[in-house]
C-alpha cells in the first residue's frame, strides 16, 4: 500500500504514520482531527478512487496524503460506489489501528489539560438531505458500518471534507493505467 502527496510519493504506511506522529509532536498542545475518507469518479472504461489520510491541527494547518485505486469498469450504481468508498476507507483505517491511535494520544496526553485533544473520523462521501444527495438512502448503512469498528466516528456531508474535498481532487483525472 503506497501513499503520496504533493511533495512525496511511494510512502509506506509506516512512513505515513511517522509523518503524522512528527506533525503532532511539533505542537502537542493543539487539538487534532485525524480523518480518513474516500471519493470516486467514473471515467470512460474505469472508476478511480482516492483515499485521503489527514491529520488536521485545528486552526493551524494539516498534513495529508492519499492513495489511488482503479476499478476497470464504469460503476453506475450509487450504492456500489458508496459501499466501495466506505470499504476503501475502512481498509486504510485498519493500518491506523488502536495501537497507532494510542501513539497519537500518548504524544498529546501530557498536554490534555492545556487543550490537547484528538478526534478520529472516517468521512463518508454522502449527505443526509434527500433532495440534494442521491446518497441519502444509504447514509445510515454506511454509518453503521463505520460505527461497528468502534475506533472511528462516521462523518457525513457537509462535514466529511476529507472525502468530499481532499480525496475528491485526486479522482478527477482519468487513470493512465487501468488495472
pTM greater than 0.85: yes
Is residue 104, in this structure, part of any structural domain at all?
Answer: yes
Is residue 26, in this structure, part of any structural domain at all?
Answer: yes
Residue listed under C-alpha cell 498536554 = 111
User: For position 131, what pLDDT does the model report?
Assistant: 67
Is residue 56, in this structure, part of any structural domain at all?
Answer: yes
User: Residue 159 and residue 123: Cα distance in Å, rounded?
Assistant: 8
HEC states along 24-72?
HHHCCCCEEEEEEEEEEEEECCEEEEEEEEEEEECCCCEEEEEEEEEEC
Is residue 2, in this structure, part of any structural domain at all?
Answer: no
> Containing domain of residue 17, as a range?
13-170
pLDDT tens digit at each of 179 positions of the chain: 899 999 999 999 999 999 999 999 999 999 999 999 999 999 999 999 999 999 999 999 999 999 999 999 999 999 999 999 999 999 999 999 999 999 999 999 999 999 999 999 999 999 888 766 788 889 999 999 999 988 999 999 999 999 999 999 999 887 765 44
User: For position 176, what pLDDT does the model report?
Assistant: 64
Is residue 142, in this structure, part of any structural domain at all?
Answer: yes
Is residue 177, in this structure, part of any structural domain at all?
Answer: no
User: For position 178, what pLDDT does the model report?
Assistant: 47
HEC states along 116-163?
CEEEEEEEEEEECCCCCCHHHHHHHHHHHHHHCCCCCEEEEECCCHHH
Q: Grid coordinates standing for 103? A: 501513539
User: Residue 131 and residue 138: Cα distance in Å, rounded?
Assistant: 14
User: For position 1, what pLDDT does the model report?
Assistant: 87
User: Residue 72 and residue 41: Cα distance in Å, rounded?
Assistant: 12
User: For position 179, what pLDDT does the model report?
Assistant: 47
**Number of domains the chain contains:** 1
Is residue 3, in this structure, part of any structural domain at all?
Answer: no
Is residue 153, in this structure, part of any structural domain at all?
Answer: yes
Amino acid at each position: 500500500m503506497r501513499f503520496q502527496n504533493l511533495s512525496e510519493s511511494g510512502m509506506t504506511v509506516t512512513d505515513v504514520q511517522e509523518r503524522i506522529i512528527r506533525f503532532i509532536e511539533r505542537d502537542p498542545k493543539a487539538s487534532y482531527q485525524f480523518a480518513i475518507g474516500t471519493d470516486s469518479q467514473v471515467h470512460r472504461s474505469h472508476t478511480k478512487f482516492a483515499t485521503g489520510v489527514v491529520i488536521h491541527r485545528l486552526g493551524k494547518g494539516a498534513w495529508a496524503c492519499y492513495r489511488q485505486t482503479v476499478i476497470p469498469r464504469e460503476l453506475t450504481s450509487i450504492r456500489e460506489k458508496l459501499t466501495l468508498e466506505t470499504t476503501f476507507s475502512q481498509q486504510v483505517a485498519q493500518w491506523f489501528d488502536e495501537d497507532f491511535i494510542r501513539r497519537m494520544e500518548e504524544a498529546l496526553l501530557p498536554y490534555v489539560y492545556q487543550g490537547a485533544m484528538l478526534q478520529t473520523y472516517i468521512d463518508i462521501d454522502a449527505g443526509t438531505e434527500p433532495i440534494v444527495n442521491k446518497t441519502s438512502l444509504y447514509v445510515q448503512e454506511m454509518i453503521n458500518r463505520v460505527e461497528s469498528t468502534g475506533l472511528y466516528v462516521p462523518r457525513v456531508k457537509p462535514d466529511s471534507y476529507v472525502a468530499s474535498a481532499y480525496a475528491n481532487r485526486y479522482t478527477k483525472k482519468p487513470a493512465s493505467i487501468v488495472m
